[in-house]
Amino acid sequence: MLTPDPREHASIASIVLDEPVWDAGDVETELLSPPEPPASATVAVYRARGSVPRPWSAVCKVLAGDRRGHPNWPASDDMAHWYWWRREEMAYTTGLLGQLAGGLRAPRFLNAFGRPGGRVALWIEDVTAPRASTWSVGRYGESARHLGRAQLEMTSVLADDGWLVRDFLPGYLARHDGIVAGSTADWEVLVAARALLSDRARLLAVVDEFPSTLCHHDFHALNLFGDEGGPSIAIDWAFVGIGPLPVDAGPFAADAVLDYGAPVASLPELHEAVETGFVAGLRDGGWAGDDVRLRLAMRVAAGLKFAWVAAAAADPSPETLTRWEAHYGRDGAEVRDDRRWVAEWLVGMAADAAARL
């Protein structure tokens, strides 16, 4: 069953409205994800709206381990796998995400129900704040400050129960090695990206010097919401795990522009705002570490994570251009040029940081 189950509506309405609801009446549902979501653990995402006894709304995310979706995001039944299909359910139902503080939070957890076929219906708050793709550069910096404060606090309370992802960034790099190895383009940026990746062991060791904390591992513009001056609300915790401080904040700005959550040309300014905001958030929480080394580690984390972009944009096939057009709603050649510019700036920044570490 993909659509929200009417038998669940009264329970959800009771929680949202904080009063007993025995019959929620007619409830409208709206599909928020494509009919065939790209991530295999997510079968569908719906918004439900009711008016009995008063207006209410909630989001239902249907999870399954049935291996459909994009081959790059294969769900697994193995709790230790980087994409265990029930990880997001665990993050909510154990109360882990309720411990976030410092201006960063997840949507309010409402309830979870078993569905036919072993599926799970995860009900969460309907977030109505603006998506990060509408934010100013300053608001991105504010969100990075929220992240820094929240992650510093989580370093002292986080416990590993065996289901949180570990070593996500090294695994991500390994999963994208084929893109870099498969490109035969002769482009100086791609040569520099390969050099950066060849130095990954040393650079990842530097990133790992920093305290371990709770990491989202997909902290980007399309997963973030928030009003000016309000909290930053992060959705989609499917890859939540344990990692060093630089791994979420470092790639934050580059991830935003690669998904067109912010103008591509804003990347240098955006990255500086994120670095400054993140360090400020750590300082708010009493961190006394080395700012310069942290900033350099954030830069190499970003450059390593997206080194594959240089290979993908160097000489994309016509099929790739067509896929980009369908996904981003933009001319494929425009996406190619934007990605080349991002790769050139990002790899250059990371290479400079690597040389200074």
| Residue 67 tokens, joined | 């291996």
Total count of residues recorded for the chain: 357
**DSSP one-letter string for 274-324:** HHHHHHHHHHHTT--S-HHHHHHHHHHHHHHHTTHHHHHHHS--HHHHHHH
- Is residue 275 within 8 A of residue 349, CB to CB? The reply is no
Per-residue pLDDT of the chain (357 residues; tens, 9 = 90+): 456 678 899 999 999 999 999 999 999 999 887 655 555 788 889 999 999 999 999 999 999 886 565 666 778 888 998 999 999 999 999 999 999 999 999 999 999 999 888 889 999 999 999 999 999 999 999 999 999 999 999 998 777 778 999 999 999 999 999 999 999 899 999 999 999 999 999 999 999 999 999 999 999 999 999 999 999 999 999 999 999 999 999 999 999 999 999 999 999 999 999 999 999 999 999 999 999 999 999 999 999 999 999 999 999 999 999 999 998 999 999 999 999 999 999 999 999 999 999
Torsion angles phi and psi, residue 224, rounded to 5: -125, 145
| Tens digits of residue pLDDT in 204-252 | 999 999 999 999 999 999 999 999 999 999 999 999 999 999 999 999 9
Q: DSSP states of 137-159 as a string?
A: HHHHHHHHHHHHHHHHHHTTT--
User: CA torsion sign, 328 to 332 to 335 to 336?
Assistant: positive
Distance CA 109, CA 195 (A): 44
Tell which residue, 11, 130, 21, has the closest CA to residue 60: 11
